[in-house]
Structure formats: C-alpha cells, structure tokens
Amino acid sequence: MVAQEWLPGLLTFFKRKDQLDFMNLGTTIIKCRHSVRKFKDTKIEEWIVRDVLECARLAPTAMNVQPWLFGAITDPELKRKIADLTDNGKFIAGAPVCFAIFGQKSAKYYLEDCCAATENIILALQSYGIGSCWVAGEKKDYAEPVRKLLKVPETYALVSILPAGFAADITLPEKKDICDITFLDTYGDE
C-alpha cells in the first residue's frame, strides 16, 4: 500500500471525534509545554521543587537501577557559574531554580534513565505552570566542569541541565506534522 492510501486511515485513527471531544489533563499539559529561556523573577516554592524531584525519582529505569542524582540549584552565584560554563545555556543565570541531572556511569542505561527523569521533571514543572528548557549535558565539554563545580562524585556524569521558572517569554517552534512521522502497524509494503 502506498503512503497516500494509508495516510487517511491514520488521520482518522488520530482524529476520532470522541478523542477530540474529551479534554485530557495529562495530554493537555504535555501539549502545552514549550522550551522557556526567559524567566520571571518569581521564586519557585520549595514544596514545588520537592514535588518535582519526587516525580523525577519515580521515572522508569532499566532493571529499576535508579542510577541518578538530582540537584536543585538556587544559589545565584552557582547558577551564574553553570551558565558561564555552557555554550547554549547562558539564560540559566536568569532562572529561579536550575535542576542538574547526573547519571551513575556504571549503569548500562544511565543515559536513557536520566533522560526519562529529565522529562518527568519538565512535565511536573509544566503541571505547575512552570516553564523550563532542557540544556544539553552529557555530550558537552562542560559536563565535567559542571560536575566538579557542584561537587558531585566522579562516578556520575552530567546528563542534563534544566533551568526553570515562570515564563517571561515563550517562542513556539515549528513541529513536524503527525502524518509525516508516524505509521500504523508497518511503515511500508516491502
């Protein structure tokens, strides 16, 4: 079957009327999320930070190893130093709180596990109306300097940095059309 033939079926699958009429809180929170790089000064309450970290802790991990360490950085000097170390994360300095997600290098799937936890933090924040922006960690030259700055043991690697706060500005990037990036059962005929 050629793409033109199965696409309408796929569209019907995703656009069933009963699904559109039903407002789902979880998926609405997911769909409302956008990276935020400009933050208001408004403080993030400590109980919210704790609840967000609780959501990080509950993320899935391969073989339930939970190979991670989560930092919540509020000290302005530390945030500025992290921002200065990064190439594309200078806005970290302006965030009321910055999460740093570290993975235990000895765990086979620490990268996947910590990415799952990072997304849990992002969505937990979003559920409180708080914006954030995933800033790269693991593949960056600044991963080690950030780890040392935060005095994290060398058995851990920085996986991601997550500055967060109430949005002062949001940009909406283009997203690929669902028809171009999904398939039902099999991708093609061959």
Ligand X SMILES: Cc1cc2nc3c(=O)[nH]c(=O)nc-3n(C[C@H](O)[C@H](O)[C@H](O)COP(=O)(O)O)c2cc1C
Query: Contact residues for ligand X (CB under 6 A)?
Result: 34-35, 37, 88-89, 133-136, 173
CB of 58 to ligand X, least distance (A): 20
Q: How many CB atoms lie within 10 A of CB 165?
A: 24
> 38 with 91: CB under 8 angstroms?
yes
CA-closest candidate to residue 133, choices 35, 30, 60, 49: 35
- Distance of closest approach, residue 32 Cβ to ligand X, in angstroms: 11
- Smaller CB separation from ligand X, 49 or 158: 158
Q: How far apart are CA 171 and CA 43, in angstroms?
A: 22
Considering Cα of 148, then 149, then 153, then 159, what sign does the dihedral take? negative
Distance CA 165, CA 39 (A): 5
Query: Shortest distance, CB of residue 133 to ligand X, whole angstroms?
Result: 5
Which parts of 48-107 are beta strand (E)? 68-73, 97-104
> Would you state the structure tokens that stand for residue 34, as one six-digit string?
């956008």
The minimum distance between CB 171 and ligand X, in angstroms, equals 7
Residue number, 34 or 80, with CB nearest to ligand X: 34
Longest dimension (CA), the chain: 59
Shorter beta-carbon distance to ligand X: residue 142 or 156: 142
- Partner residues linked to 72 by β-bridges: 99
- Cβ proximity to ligand X: between 61 and 86 the closer is 86
User: What radius of gyration, in Å, describes the C-alpha atoms of the chain?
Assistant: 19
Comparing CB distances to ligand X, the nearer of 7 and 55 is 55
CB of 185 to ligand X, least distance (A): 28
Which residue number, 96 or 131, has a Cβ lying nearer to ligand X?
131
CB of 146: closest distance to ligand X in angstroms? 12
**How many other CB atoms sit within 10 Å of the CB of residue 51?**
14
